[in-house]
Structure 1
Amino acid sequence: MAEEGVKLLGFWASPYALRVHWALKLKGVEYEYLEEDLMSGKKSSLLLQSNPIYKKIPVLVHNGNPVAESLVILEYIDETWKQNPLFPEDPYERAQLRFWAKFADEKCFPAVIKTFSSEGEELEKNVKEAREYLKILDGAVGDRKDNQIDFLDVALAVVGHWANITGEIIGMKLVDEEETPSLVTLFEDVLEAAPFLKECTPEKSRIPVELAGGAGDKVRPADGAGDMSRQPRVDAVSVEDVAASREQPEILLAVVELVQTHGAF
């Protein structure tokens, strides 16, 4: 049963929302999950009321008070529920974690997303840029020695995971075991250290991209959508299918649209 007054508005395939799922699970906080039907472009009134500035997910609503932006939400969760802290006590170490999480969101994620909507020489340029940023980020992950899951693990694991998926879609690796070994394994390392997180983690092999333009009613929350163990019904395609369909730009642009308009990825 959800703790009184704790709700999470998200989208099932969003790495930003997944950060919040993981943080709440690690803290042992029970919450109600509310799936947003982003593929149809229909945002709930609660989302629009809770995040009127950006109108994007994820949003955590605690006792009626909304908190937006995934990294801000993670800090709020850690400060509100003291058990299983995500941040160290040392102020300098906390500042370092915030720096690298911000670097990931401001440099790495945008660079990865740029590769979706480019081709030819522009694609090669964008892939090179993404790899450079991800290599820098990998150094921050690799330098850490503490095996306890913390704020940076939660923030960065999804970056490496989606860089891996993106590379498979565009047919060019963004992360690999030679240049970014820590990012390649971080996602699975977290799931191995905390297996209970798998219940709110979507399968890698499915991505929320419809085969033809116009999402319409193709994505609907499953019955009891508040339970992440029951995924929404999605007319999606596998990573391999999308990679084989790269000449259909509407498929890839749909992903970009989700990012720019809804903050889904």
Structure 2
Amino acid sequence: MALRMKGVSYEYIEQDVLDKGELLLKYNPVHKKVPVLIHNGVPLCESQIIVQYIDEVWAGANGASILPADPYERATARFWAAYVDDKLFPAWLGILKATSQDERTEKVNKTLAVVAQLELALAQCSNGKAFFAGDSVGFLDLVVGCNLFWFEALRRMFGVVFVEEGKTPLLAAWAERFGESGAARDVVPDADRAVEFAKKLMARRGSAPAAN
């Protein structure tokens, strides 16, 4: 999405993260996970690091600035982005990894609590505008937005809704705008593929099946 915002052409190489191939192990031997950006033959790893690198290397490209120019706003965006990585991602991933229905319920509740905090973060960061970054998609929008197709996959699998108008009206409206934005449209993975991957992950880990 960051490369799309900058108008930079790139080659996308799909990787099987369950059966890691030689290319992934070569370019990310430490964590052995995606994403990896290879630029000028040099690999960069970790999503947020990659996005910030893209913003700096292609500064001003396509008229898009991903990180806020204001130091305080930039620090605030990084704070909430770290919160997403530290709290949101482990919470919803735990739903898939849960070995019992009680554990899954606990992880669902944790995810809902984190989403409630992000509703407050959106109110703080957006100042009443369309996105976390204000009038246009920015760093925190990308970080939070990467979770949306997983939320849809979890809804289909377990019937739980994390972003809804009744409980998180700001996030619900934002999610629609983000999905229609040039940064996300035609780039965000399809939820069907996320469901397929999630089922494979659950089968491999021996997770508890989805309750009927």
Task: Tell me, yes or no, whether TM beats 0.5.
Answer: yes
Question: Structure 2: how far apart are the matches of 1:203 and 1:131?
Answer: 22
For the residues of structure 2 that align with 1:89 and 1:186, how far apart are their CA atoms? 22
Distance 1:37 1:122 in 2: 27
Q: Counterpart in 1 of 2:105?
A: 124
Give 1:106 deviation, angstroms: 0.8
3-state SS of 1:199 partner: coil
What per-residue deviation string (whole Å, max 9, x for no partner) do you get for residues 205-242 of structure 1?
443527xxxxxxxxxxxxxxxxxxxxxxxxxxxxxxx9
SS at match of 2:13: strand
Q: Sort the Cα spacing of 1:121 and 1:38 in 2 relative to 1 into closer, same or farther, 3 A.
A: closer
Residue 138 of structure 1 contacts residue 183 of structure 1 at CA under 8 Å; is this kept in 2?
Answer: yes
1:224-235 alignment to 2 at 5 Å? none
In terms of fraction of residues, the more strand-rich structure is 1
User: Residue 12 of structure 2 corresponds to which residue in structure 1?
Assistant: 33
Q: Deviations over 1:133-189 (max 9, x none)?
A: 111012112331212111111111122442243133112223322222333343431
**Equivalent residues, number:** 195
1:174 is aligned to 2:162: yes
Decide which structure has greater helix share.
2
CA distance in 2, matches of 1:185, 1:108: 19
TM-score, normalising length from structure 1? Answer: 0.66
Secondary structure of the equivalent of 2:12? strand
Give yes or no for contact 2:96–2:201 (8 Å, CA) kept in 1: yes
Structure ranking higher on relative contact order (CA contacts 8 Å, 6+ apart):
1
Give the corresponding residue for 2:146.
Answer: 158
Stretches of structure 1 that go unaligned for 5 or more consecutive residues are 1-21, 211-241, 243-249, 258-265
Q: Name stretches of at least 5 consecutive residues in structure 2 with no aligned partner.
A: 207-212
Computed over aligned residues only, the root mean square deviation of the Cα atoms, in angstroms, reads: 2.4
Percent identity, aligned pairs only, is: 36
Q: 1:256, CA displacement in angstroms?
A: 6.6
Deviating runs (4+, > 4 A) in structure 1?
254-257
Q: TM-score, structure 2 length as denominator?
A: 0.81
